[in-house]
Amino acid sequence: TGGLTTIDPGFKNTGSCESAITFLNGEEGILRYRGYAIEDLAEKASFLEVIYLLIFGELPTEEQLTKFHNDIKEENHVDEDVKKILNGFPKSAHPMGVLASLTSALTAFNPDAVNVDSEEDMYNAIVKLLGKFPVLVAWTMRTKKSKPLDYGDDSLNYVENLHKMMFSKPNSEYKVDSTIIEALDKLLILHADHEQNCSTSTVRIVGSSHAGLFASISAGISALWGPLHGGANQAVIEMLEGIKADGGDTKKYMAKAKDKEDPFRLMGFGHRVYKNFDPRAKIIKKAADDVLEQLGIEDEVLAIAKGLEKEALEDEYFVKRKLYPNVDFYSGIIYRALGIPVEMFTVMFAMGRVPGWIAQWREMRLRKEPIGRPRQVYIGETHRPFKAMSER
Ligand code: SDX
C-alpha cells in the first residue's frame, strides 16, 4: 500500500497546491479574484479586464488591455477545416462533447501550444485560445441549429463579439440591447474562477503531464459537464420545468430531495465549500430580476425557483446541512432570457471559466509543479497462482 493508511474521498480535506489566484471563504461566503471582491468586479469591471487580472495578477492599464485585446483579435479565427469536424458530429451530439473535441483538436492545428516552456510561449498559446474559444462556442451552437456561421467583428468588444457570432441574423445588421451584453459580461465574470473545483483540478493535473494548454482545457470541459458540477445549470432548468409541468408543487420536490431512497437532488443547491450563501448566487438572483424586468420577460420558473429557495431556507434538513442556492441555481433563468438554448448553458459556464482554467494552468506550469500522481490504499486480492481455463 506504499505506506498509506488513509485516503480522502473527493479530497474533502486535501489541499492540492498553493495558489495566489482566487480566495474563497466558505463560512462567510467570500469570493475574491487576486484580492478583488467579486461584488466589485461584477459591478465595475469588464469580462476582458477580469480575464487579464486572473491570468496576469493585476488589473490592466488602458494600454495593456488594448494590446491584450489586439493580440486576441489576431487569433479570433479558426482553421476552415474545423467546419468539417463540426459538420461531422450528429445534431444530437451534446455541445460540451463537441467543444471538448474541438478544443483538443486545436492542438492539431496549433502544435506549438503543447511544449510551452517560456512565458512568451505560454502567452502565445493563451491568446490563441482566448481568440478561438468564443468562435468554437458560437459555431458549435449555430451548427447544431443549422444556422450559417458568423465570423465576428473586430470593432466589437470581447463579449459583444461572442454574442454577435452566436446570435447575428444573416442579411441583417447586428444590433443588441446593451442590457443583454451587460448581463452576459456579468455572468461570465461570476463564473471566471473558483480555486480548486473539480474541473480546475482536472486542468491542473492534465497540465502537469505537459499535455499542453488546449488538451488541459479540453479535459476541464469534460469535468465541468457533470450535473454535480457545471452541468447543474442545465439540470436546474430541467428540474424547474419538470416541477412546473407537475403543477408547481414545490413541497413534493422538497420531500423528494430529503428522501434518501429517492435519487432526486435539488439541483443548484449545496456546495462543497460554501456553507453560507454562494455570493455569486446572490448577485445572479438580483440580475435575473433586473434582466427579466428590463427585457419585459415573465418567466414562471423564476417564481418556482424563489419558492424552492424560500422553503429550503426554512427547512431543517437543508439548514442543518447548510445547503444554499449555488451559482447554478439562477443562472439558467438569465441564459434563457438571453435566448441561449438550454443545452448550451454549461457551454456558457465553460466560456466563463476558461480564464480561470488558463490562470491556474499557467500558475502550475510557472511554478514547475511535478506531475500529479497520487497513491492508493490497496484493498484487492493478495498474491495468487495463475488458474488454467479448466480450473476456473
Ligand atoms: C458548481 O467546487 C466548486 O467550487 C464548484 C462550483 C465552481 O464554481 O466551480 O461552485 C460550481 O459545481 C456548483 C455546484 C453545482 N451542483 C449542484 O447544484 C448539484 C446539487 N448539489 C449537490 O450534488 C452537492 O451539494 C454538491 C455536489 C454541490 C456538493 O457535494 P458534497 O460537498 O460532496 O456534499 P454531499 O453530496 O456529501 O452532501 C452533504 C449532505 C448529504 O446528506 P447526508 O448524507 O449528510 O444526509 O447534503 C445532502 C447530501 O445528501 N445534499 C443534498 C444536496 N446537496 C447535498 N440534498 C439534497 N439536494 C442537494 N442539492
pLDDT tens-digit map of 82-98: 999 999 999 999 999 99
Asked if residue 1 has pLDDT above 70, the reply is no
Containing 31, the helix (H) or strand (E) segment is strand 30-33
Probe ligand 1: pick from 269, 273, 283, 324, max atoms within 8 Å of CB? 269
Enumerate the active-site residues: 271, 328
pLDDT at 116: 86
How far does the centroid of ligand 1 lie from the alpha carbon of residue 372, in Å?
25
In whole angstroms, give the CA distance from residue 281 to residue 301. 16
The sign of the torsion formed by the CA atoms of 109, 229, 205, 73 equals positive
Nearest to 108 by CA among 209, 220, 18, 218: 218
Split at pLDDT 50, 70, 90, the class of 113 is confident
How far does the centroid of ligand 1 lie from the alpha carbon of residue 228, in Å?
7
Split at pLDDT 50, 70, 90, the class of 5 is confident
Split at pLDDT 50, 70, 90, the class of 114 is confident
pLDDT at 186: 98
Tell me the average pLDDT across 322-350. Answer: 96
CA angle 306, 309, 311 (to 5 degrees): 110
Quote the percentage of the chain above a pLDDT of 90.
95
Asked if residue 3 has pLDDT above 80, the reply is no
Give the predicted TM-score (pTM) of the model.
Answer: 0.96
Probe ligand 1: pick from 323, 330, 354, 360, max atoms within 8 Å of CB? 323
How far does the centroid of ligand 1 lie from the alpha carbon of residue 199, in Å?
15
Probe ligand 1: pick from 16, 22, 194, 228, max atoms within 8 Å of CB? 228
Residue 313 vs residues 90, 316, 322: alpha-carbon distances, Å: 43, 8, 9
Asked if residue 6 has pLDDT above 80, the reply is yes
Q: What number does the ligand 1 atom closest to the CA of 195 have?
A: 4
- Beta-bridge partners for 30: 25
pLDDT at 78: 95
pLDDT at 345: 98
Residue ranges around ligand 1 (CB below 6 Å): 10, 194, 197, 228-230, 232, 257, 265-273, 321, 323, 326-328
pLDDT at 4: 77
Model pLDDT for residues 216-236, shown as the tens digit of each residue:
999 999 999 999 999 999 999
Q: Closest Cα to atom 12, ligand 1: which residue?
A: 229
Asked whether this complex has an ipTM greater than 0.85, the answer is yes
Quote the percentage of the chain above a pLDDT of 70.
99
Average pLDDT over the chain reads 95
pLDDT at 2: 58
- Total residues found in the chain within this entry: 392
pLDDT at 279: 97
Tell me the average pLDDT across 318-345. Answer: 95
Q: In which residue are the cell numbers 459591478 written?
A: 43
pLDDT at 51: 99
How far does the centroid of ligand 1 lie from the alpha carbon of residue 268, in Å?
8
Containing 32, the helix (H) or strand (E) segment is strand 30-33
Which stretches of the chain are DSSP H helices? Answer: 38-44, 47-56, 62-73, 82-88, 95-109, 119-144, 158-167, 178-190, 198-207, 213-224, 232-245, 250-258, 279-294, 300-313, 316-320, 328-337, 345-366
Asked if residue 275 has pLDDT above 80, the reply is yes
pLDDT at 112: 78
